[in-house]
């Protein structure tokens, strides 16, 4: 989730608030956002999907042919190595999900969230 800003945010501190109001809202983002909006790992739907995948993998520990889902991703992670003095960049911290046969699935998220990196890893690029 990005930070909502008005169109003239780059002029804050230069132009008076009255002028900025003509360009859009001057409201500041709420610092007291609910915790489940800050960290996706604590959202109930994410926890439910992780539990579903873990239960499916535990049930099929001996025979993977018992898994009925077409795509199963368990703790997928991608870290780009350090370069030019910058630290390593984590593109996908951990992705756990499953897509059932015949199900249409979409990945939503802000720019830089790792959607393309996840798809590229699933395709083998």
* Whole-prediction pTM: 0.61
Q: What pLDDT tens digit does each residue of the chain (125 aa) get?
A: 455 666 666 767 777 777 766 665 555 544 444 554 556 677 888 889 999 999 988 888 888 778 888 899 999 999 999 999 899 988 888 899 999 999 998 988 888 888 999 999 999 88
Pair of tokens at residue 30: 């709420």
């Amino acid at each position: 989730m990005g930070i909502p800003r008005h169109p003239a945010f780059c002029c804050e501190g230069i132009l008076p608030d009255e002028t900025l109001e003509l360009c859009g809202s001057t409201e500041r983002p709420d610092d007291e956002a609910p915790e489940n909006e800050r960290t996706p790992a604590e959202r109930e739907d994410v926890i439910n999907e992780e539990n579903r995948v873990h239960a499916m993998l535990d049930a099929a520990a001996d025979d993977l042919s018992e898994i009925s889902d077409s795509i199963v991703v368990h703790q997928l992670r991608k870290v780009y190595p350090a370069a030019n003095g910058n630290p390593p960049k984590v593109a996908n911290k951990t992705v756990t999900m499953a897509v059932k046969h015949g199900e249409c699935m979409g990945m939503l998220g802000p720019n830089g969230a790792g959607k393309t990196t996840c798809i590229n890893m699933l395709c083998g690029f």
